[in-house]
Structure 1
Amino acid sequence: MQRTVSDDLWSMLAQAGVKRCYGIVGDALNPAFEAIGRHPEIEFVHVRHEEWGGFAASADARVSGGIVAVCGTAGPGVTHLTNALIDALRERARVIVIGGDVHTDIMDTGGLQEVNPYELFRPAAHFVGRVVSAKQARAVFTQALDACATMSGPAVISLPGDIAGAASPLGNEPVYRPLPQPAVGPSAGDVAALARLINAAERVTVFGGAGCEQARDLVVELAERIAAPVGFSLKGKAFLESGNPNAVGMTGLLGYGGCHEALKSADLVLLLGTDFPYPDFLSVGEAKFVQVDRRPELLGRRVPLELGIGASLEALLPELLPLLDERTDRAHLDRALKTTARWEKKLRAYVDDGAELSPIRPEFVAATINELLDDDAIVTIDTGTPVIWAAHHLDFRGQRTHLGSYSWASMANASPNAFGAWKAAPDRQVVALCGDGGFSMLAFSDLVTEVAAQAPVVHVIFHNALLDFVNIEQQEAGMVPWGTALDEIDFARVAEAFGATGIRCDDPATLKDDLRRALAHRGGPVVVDVRVDRFALAVPPGVPASTAAGFVKSLVKQAVHGGFTRVVKEGVDNARLV
């Protein structure tokens, strides 16, 4: 059979290491997917919603480290992809999009399902290429793959059906050679300047993020040499908490431990591999800031810097460490560690006797999951209060890792992220911590996809019949919560109707056994519907005065306008946090 432009596409994708393409075929994509059958090295994963497929592809790419494809046909198909792609862009996931497009002879005529791919994908991709001729196709495919790989984010190939099915103009099968990742090293002057700042400072605090992954041991060595407490973002938690004697937790609304205090009392803060987006939680004292990141465009955009260095930590730290004085004064570190120890006790206020507390406390759910997880488990987390409970009660010892929509904060990511993670690492335990709002938003449609694949993904739903994080936001703003209540759904029964295993848990005494049974299940997905206390709160350290005032104002308004019973219940259910 004559080779087509689509054959060239799939061949180049396979040479780039693509193993899977998620999506839905149809219309403009039909010629492209006629060709994929001739390229069995790439698996097509048929999903029921393109957005779900986009989130799955993003997680697949993050876990595997490779490029993963996702597709949607012209018009509605590609527009369904956009939210998941913006998330992939923010999470630096190598996702390549094969987007259907209208035939070239009706472009720019307002034809059925026509959408301008450049305008549609501008906020969602590093590169957008529209294939308008068979001769041009190879160059677009190459640029898309190069951008996806080297810039660590989505690239889009907009492919009209008439070009996809056209004969390849190439005499031979195209060759694609992946570009090497450029090394990002510091200058000698930058290293010397950083050493001078650290040696001159009296109280140094380290705050690290995802960029510490490949330099975890070096960051720990740095902190021990200069007696620095180590705080971290949620992304950095996976690498910088477990086994780190200087770990002092997190700051911000997810915060716990001595991190806030360590930032407030420092005279120098080292921001290492982090783009923490909440400057008000960083600038809480009088410290000078130094930032190190392999992406120099991020330097200084959150807080003013004394020094910014565009370099990878794994390149910088081996040169820096020999230049640093070893510090024996541990007062700054010991204060932060003492505060962290107090917080560790506080976080267990509703955990240690959680099996006796009804309704079930969400903290107890997260802590019990943490106890049962494998040491190489992958945990995906919905945006919302599941992120709070995961941040406070999961530890990432061993090879455990976690994924979420941390830099975009989309709802409904946990279920598709879990499926994509399982496709990338089928031998690892995968658990999705879902909100009931997020699960009902997107997960239902593709639960059947998980059933068909016999994916042993465990979904744990924190079911409080509430958009809980929004509810908290409204109270912090001084509002009476409105529009946050959700209708009751029996998620376990719905899961059974889809062919999954459903477990409903109302009794805290049976929670551990219910979760143990779910984690042991094989041969398909499990949905554990846990009815949790809808009044449970978390109180982070260093809450701004305006936030506290807003919360009090909201409680007064609720009490005055007929919500007195709810206010009392919220107080009673969180009394141990005071």
Structure 2
Amino acid sequence: MFQKSAADVMMEMLIEWGVDHIYGMPGDSINTLIESLRKVKDKIDFIQVRHEETGALAAAAYAKLTGKLGVCMGIAGPGAIHLLNGLYDAKLDGAPVLAIAGQVETDLMGTDFFQEVDLPSVFKDVAVYSQTIMSAEQLPAVLNQAIRTAYDKKGPAVLIIPDDVPKFEVERNALKTTSFVSKSTVIAHEDDLRAASEILNEAKKPVILAGKGARGAKDTLLTFAEILKAPIILTLPGKGVIPDEHPYNLGQLGLIGTKPATLAVEEADTLIMIGTSFPFVGFLPDGLKTIQIDKDPTQIGKRYPVDVGMAGDAGETLTRLLPMLKPASDPQFLQTCQQHLQEWRIKLQEKAQTEAVPIKPQFVINELQKVTKDDAVLSVDVGNVTVWMARYFNMTNQQFIISSWLATLGCGLPGAIAGKIAYPDKQVIAVCGDGGFQMMMNDFVTAVKYNLPMVVVILNNHKIAMIKFEQEVMGNAEFGTNLHNPDYAKYAEICGGIGYRVEKPEELPPALSKAVQETKPCIIDVVVDADEAPLPAKITFSQAMGYARHMMKEFFQEGTIHKPPL
């Protein structure tokens, strides 16, 4: 009796797992899988990307946005290697992804055949689970195990499939396993809750630092903050956990952060870290009483010393902690932080409303805010654009995705593609620098091909601008940061999309208003000031001295100074 091929069984199982699209590019070592994918095209869409890195970044972004499995494919050798950057993004940001990598046929493995690469070694560090499929009967059980592990460990699982295996029939006695994953909630220990409450009840100046682990716990988090009279600082991945304009929200901390957040941490006597393993500990002063909540016990105290750690889900832990707390009686610290915030916002608005030429990047974000819907998906690239969005875009209920831990340039466009596939009825906007967009710009045609109407806003300053600033604060002369850019609006049109070129402030509002109404992918190419530095909220002495050294180098090399010192 006729049996199904391993490739056909694989597609049926992916459908059982709820997979409805796969990013990839066809090729010889995955052609059998592609044929089986064609047979189920009414249930699984194949999104043909122009570069496998885009596919992996999009799969990671889809997983970040939805919590569902993102799936990508690549051929043996170069295709599989191209997946790596996106898979590392998934690993470091905790996104469940399945990567299907082709391989040469089993009888050719180990012979240095055409496009043969030691893929187990290639994926060893990035994968939370990696297995080479050596028989058709092995595939069903291993596929289930790979997806379960991706969900449980929140990272990329990799299946390496030699070209001949998908053609083989799966015998009836093949090992059968279950196509679902069981979920659990980590609950903090009672002793740790009690120890934390003792510290919190004595705190006079508590500050909350919340990350993406606090998503879904908005109401409980705010109740916790109100009882303690504690301002909330959000990490960049946590942006949007509570609305940016909430009176308890001081913004972000660090180089991208706000001055009120920096001042609050410097004055605090107690720090409560919720759902974050904040890496930039140089911005956290010594001598604080510190409490950390994280569902992964290995993250507690990993980067910064803590007095009490509670291993548990953020919302569940806060709910159990609330009855143990005494309401704070003195709101003075909170009120001082809020006053600092009000003064800071006035200064931000002055910058954001400056209609200068070249256009200030802050002005672009301010105008973008006006046309962005409350439930939009925002995919933000890495670089200066990250700073401008973190400081100047006030999140309400939008979804915000970025490559936070890997911080890879080029994530903006793939994230928008994934966002539009995940939420076809929502407004999707990518905000990119010119350097980041150029890395993946070839896949703008993918958005056009699959009719994914989105808006890509490019802050075009002909620079790798963040690196320029880093060189300057180190005291170095700027070198290697200039970019030679095309007209991105014309590029959009050549690809079959719509493009707007903006060089004057008055051109921006109508371009944005038109772009968000378009039914095709759209690029707004905004020429912005390359000398607008993403200054940290609080400039250190070493940064000021470094910039002074940079100015002297510029003077002696060029004979003139083109920009004012800090």
When normalised by structure 1's length, the TM-score is 0.95
Match of 2:391 in 1: 392
Distance of 2:448 and 2:559 partners within structure 1: 43
Indicate if the aligned counterparts of 2:354 and 2:360 stay in contact, CA closer than 8 A.
no
Amino acid at match of 1:68: G
- Structure 1 pair 567–245 and aligned structure 2 pair: CA distance change class (3 A): closer
Aligned pairs for 1:395-474 (under 5 A) are: 395-397=394-396, 399-443=397-441, 445-474=442-471
Match of 1:204 in 2: 206
> 2:381 matched to 1:382?
yes
Describe the SS at the equivalent of 1:291: strand
Q: Deviations over 1:169-211 (max 9, x none)?
A: 2358966331122111111111111101111222111111101
Deviation larger for 320-329 or 547-556: 547-556
The partner residue of 1:540 within 528, 536, 542 is 536
The partner residue of 1:503 within 500, 518, 521 is 500
Cα distance, 1:254 vs structure 2: 0.4
Cα distance, 1:109 vs structure 2: 2.3
Aligned pairs for 1:295-444 (under 5 A) are: 295-354=296-355, 357-397=356-396, 399-443=397-441
Aligned pairs for 1:15-414 (under 5 A) are: 15-39=16-40, 40-170=42-172, 176-242=178-244, 244-282=246-284, 284-354=285-355, 357-397=356-396, 399-414=397-412
> 2:488 matched to 1:491?
yes
Cα distance, 1:241 vs structure 2: 3.7
Indicate if the aligned counterparts of 2:140 and 2:175 stay in contact, CA closer than 8 A.
no
Q: Deviations over 1:472-519 (max 9, x none)?
A: 111121111100001132111111111111110111012111111111
Gapped regions of structure 2 (runs ≥ 5): none
Distance of 1:538 and 1:160 partners within structure 2: 48
Match of 2:12 in 1: 11
> How many residues of Structure 1 are paired with residues of Structure 2 in the alignment?
564
Indicate if the aligned counterparts of 1:130 and 1:140 stay in contact, CA closer than 8 A.
no
Indicate if the aligned counterparts of 1:264 and 1:286 stay in contact, CA closer than 8 A.
no
Deviation larger for 241-250 or 253-262: 241-250
Distance of 2:487 and 2:78 partners within structure 1: 31
When normalised by structure 2's length, the TM-score is 0.97
Cα distance, 1:93 vs structure 2: 1.7
The partner residue of 1:517 within 514, 530, 540 is 514
Q: Among all aligned residue pairs of Structure 1 and Structure 2, give the percentage whose two residues are the same amino acid.
A: 31
> 2:523 matched to 1:527?
yes
Indicate if the aligned counterparts of 1:12 and 1:174 stay in contact, CA closer than 8 A.
no
Cα distance, 1:564 vs structure 2: 2.9
Distance of 1:527 and 1:127 partners within structure 2: 38
Cα distance, 1:108 vs structure 2: 2.1
Cα distance, 1:341 vs structure 2: 1.0
Distance of 1:563 and 1:395 partners within structure 2: 42
Cα distance, 1:549 vs structure 2: 2.1
Amino acid at match of 2:556: V
Distance of 1:322 and 1:541 partners within structure 2: 36
Distance of 1:72 and 1:535 partners within structure 2: 40
Cα distance, 1:228 vs structure 2: 0.8
Cα distance, 1:447 vs structure 2: 1.6
Please provide the CA RMSD for this pair: 1.6
Distance of 1:496 and 1:244 partners within structure 2: 40
Describe the SS at the equivalent of 1:277: coil
- Structure 1 pair 327–562 and aligned structure 2 pair: CA distance change class (3 A): same
Match of 2:547 in 1: 551
Distance of 1:442 and 1:313 partners within structure 2: 36
Indicate if the aligned counterparts of 1:64 and 1:425 stay in contact, CA closer than 8 A.
no
Distance of 1:170 and 1:99 partners within structure 2: 26
The partner residue of 2:558 within 551, 562, 565 is 562
- Structure 1 pair 117–172 and aligned structure 2 pair: CA distance change class (3 A): closer
